[in-house]
Amino acid sequence: MRLIKAGKPITYKTVDGHEIPVIQPEIYARTYCKNCDNEVNSEEEPQGNCSNCGKPWAEYFTKDITVRVLEMPPIGAESGD
């Protein structure tokens, strides 16, 4: 999986007098051949075919996107529990 966008504070929000960071999540992408599940690297992609099974990318590649929330700041009502 390749990191597309790193997580970082992008702004701050004031809630009940407390300054809370609004954090951009981390975003990852995985490009792979859906025929054989071989992950494609940047060198293989321009070749046009999977280096593992030989199938053409135009027909057999897919991309998974993963979003990871790094931190959930405490916002909202307090339950007291």
| pLDDT one-digit tens code per residue, 13-53 | 888 888 888 888 999 998 888 888 888 877 777 888 888 88
Q: Which residues pair with 11 in a beta bridge?
A: 22
Give the predicted TM-score (pTM) of the model: 0.62
Residue 1's pLDDT band, with cuts at 50, 70 and 90, is confident
pLDDT at 28: 93
pLDDT at 49: 85
SS3 67: strand
Asked if residue 71 has pLDDT above 70, the reply is no
3-state helix, strand, coil in the chain (%, to 5): 10, 45, 45
Which ranges of the chain would DSSP assign to H, the alpha helix? Answer: 57-60
Between CA 31 and CA 48 the distance in angstroms is 13
CA geometry: angle 39, 63, 66, nearest 5 deg: 100
